[in-house]
Each structure stands twice: as structure tokens, then as C-alpha cells.
Structure 1
Amino acid sequence: MILLICGSLRGGSVNAAVINTAAHFTDAKVYAGLADLPHFNPDDDHEPLPPAVAALRSEIAAADGVLICTPEYAGGLPGSFKNLLDWTVGGGEIYGKPVSWINASSVAAPTGGADAHDSLRKVLTYAGARIVDDACARIPIPRHAVTDAAITDPDLRGRIAVALRRLVEAAKA
């Protein structure tokens, strides 16, 4: 099972549409607890964990791999998503886990999301995740390609499926 994590809390997010689309291509679970996570505090990173943190760590532990789609906000990762990543460091569940991401930023974005994804690589490396570079993809998604919270364009859907398939293959290896 692949855990799909959207780094955006925004309603109608293109990143969420990518995650929703990916869920159709494999055995996957969409993580839905981003807004429920408490602010990371190292003093709270012990048993008993806050319930939302325990749930996050449990879902990561149960997954064969993790696919992330996050936007760039103010030149970096959105704060709520960075908070999620901070909670993954101390638990160790992501250590050695195959992880990849899809960068869905439009070509109009100032850096095309590169700064956020550079930060994502840094944090995931620090946490010991096994980044599957062949499964990381830059697939700019225009807003008009999203209908009913999913990607409708066949070419874009195909590119998402290829990235996900590469992650699944890495998880099986």
C-alpha cells in the first residue's frame, strides 16, 4: 500500500487533485490528517503521542512507500506540511521507506516549486527516507485540468501513473 500525502490544506488544491488521481492507480491510502496535527514540540515527541501524531506514524509504518505532492509557499514548504515532516523525524517510521514526490507547480510559479522540493529532499534525507529519484516527477498541472478534485487530462494522468508505478516498483525491490 502506498500512502499518498498532500502538503496543501487549500480547498480545491491542484496538489490534492494529483493525490486523488494517484489513488486510482494502485493500492493506496490518502492521508487526511494534516490539519489535525499539533504544532511540533520535541518535548511532546514521546509516548503517549498526541492521537493525530500516532495516527500519522502508524499510517507511515503500514505503508510500503510514500508519495507526496506539495506546493511551494513563500519560497519553501507550507508550514503545516513542514510540521508533518517534523513529526516524522523522531519516530523512525519513514527511515528506509521509499518516498517520492510529484511537483505539480505551474510554469508560472516563480521557481516552479523547486525551492520547496529542495527543502523536501533535505528533510527526507535527514529523516532517513529512501528517496526514489526515478519516481520523482515534475508534472505542471494547469488549473483547467482539474475537474471534481481529480486530473482529467489523459497525458497528465498517464505521467502521474508512471511516477507512481516507479515508486511501487521500488517499494517491491
Structure 2
Amino acid sequence: MKILAISGSGRAASTNTAMLHALSAMARPDNQIVVFDRICDLPVFSPDMEAVALPQPVQNFADLVRDSDSMIVASPEYVRAIPGGLKNAIDWLVSRDEIIGRPIALMHASHRGDDMLQQLRLVLSTVSTRFSADIFLRFDLMKRSPEEILNFFQLPPNRRAMAGFLSEFSEFCQQ
């Protein structure tokens, strides 16, 4: 299964991005995980820009979504809300068909962010008929470097949690 793992952060040392890279590194061979960590490359959404050829970064992003079997989204919160870059990326997909029916689950790299997660669940359940609010994995990784996060996921309990999450998500995707 091809999984597109989208980081909602534009930050180079993002804990959510590092978590998704750790997930990708430990995935079984039957789960190919591609991490999209270039949310900041997408121009601001405008319906006027959909009338012509999409900007190349948007087309590349839409192609990644279309070519995936499923998606995992991990995002920080900014001011108790969905970061603008992630909302912008979702907005680019709203009037297109790549995301409709795509199985989607969430991960989160912080002990806080519940307001953002509630908003993100609402948005994703609106754009995809296959969003699962029940499949969710959260770790408290705030203030850790990407290297510390990779080491964190070498610990057996954390590897088991990631493997269990991927297994549950794979089962959901096959339904």
C-alpha cells in the first residue's frame, strides 16, 4: 500500500515531520510511505488559479495524493487552529477528486493541540468519505530534535505503537 504522510508543518526541524519520517523508516515493505514535508512550497489557494494549469508545486502535490492509496496527516497547532499551510494544501484539493474517498488517519506529535485536531477532523471528514477519526496515534515529542525523535522510535514500546497504528490503518484501508 502506498501511503502519503503529510506534515502540516513548514518548519525544517518539525517534530511532526520527524515522526512521519520515523514511521516511514520502520514500515514493513508492503507499506511504502512517502513523506510530504514541503507544505510551505504551495502558493496561497485561489479558485482563479484552478481555471488554468495548476502551479507546478500544487500539481506535484495533487499527483502525490492521487498516486497514493491512503494518507496520514500529522500537524502542529498554531493559535489553537490548523496551520495555514496545511489548510491551504487541503483547500487546493477541495474542488478536485484526488482526496474524495481516500482513507485518511491522523498522528500527532504533542500532548496538546486538541482544538486543532477537532478542526482537522471536521475538515478531513468533509473532504473525504473515508476519514477515520478512530485511528489516531499521539506521542509527546515537543521540544525534541529530529535525531532525538528517531532514537525515541527505536524503543520497543514506541515501535510497537507505530506498528499497531499502521496495522489498524491498513485494515481500515482494505475495507
TM-score, with structure 2 as normaliser: 0.86
- Residue 3 of structure 2 contacts residue 33 of structure 2 at CA under 8 Å; is this kept in 1? yes
User: Using a 3 Å threshold, how does the CA distance of structure 1 residues 45 and 150 change in structure 2: closer, same or farther?
Assistant: farther
Tell me, in whole angstroms, the C-alpha distance in 2 between the residues paired with 1:4 and 1:165. Answer: 15
Tell me, in whole angstroms, the C-alpha distance in 2 between the residues paired with 1:17 and 1:7. Answer: 12
Classify the secondary structure of the residue corresponding to 1:10.
coil
CA RMSD of aligned residues (A): 1.9
Offset at 1:130?
1.1
Q: 2:64 aligns with which of 50, 59, 66?
A: 59
**Superposed counterparts of 1:151-166, under 5 Å:** 151-153=151-153, 154=155, 155-166=157-168
- Residue 66 of structure 1 contacts residue 97 of structure 1 at CA under 8 Å; is this kept in 2? yes
Q: Does 1:96 align with 2:97?
A: no
| Aligned pairs, number | 168
Offset at 1:52?
1.1
CA shift digits 1:125-157 (9 cap, x unpaired)? 221241123422232225448526635242223
CA shift digits 1:90-145 (9 cap, x unpaired)? 11211111000112213xxxxx1111111111111221241123422232225448
Runs of 4+ in structure 1 off by over 6 angstroms are none
Give the fraction of aligned pairs with identical amino acids, expressed as a percent.
29
Q: Give the aligned residue type for 2:130.
A: R
Greater CA deviation, 113-122 or 146-155? 146-155
TM-score, with structure 1 as normaliser: 0.87
Classify the secondary structure of the residue corresponding to 2:91.
helix
Q: Give the aligned residue type for 2:34.
A: K
Tell me, in whole angstroms, the C-alpha distance in 1 between the residues paired with 2:87 and 2:171. Answer: 27
CA shift digits 1:24-71 (9 cap, x unpaired)? 213111114312101001111234111111111111111111001101
Offset at 1:75?
0.8
Tell me, in whole angstroms, the C-alpha distance in 2 between the residues paired with 1:48 and 1:81. Answer: 21
Tell me, in whole angstroms, the C-alpha distance in 2 between the residues paired with 1:115 and 1:158. Answer: 27
Q: Unmatched 5+ residue regions in structure 1?
A: 107-111
Tell me, in whole angstroms, the C-alpha distance in 2 between the residues paired with 1:129 and 1:151. Answer: 36
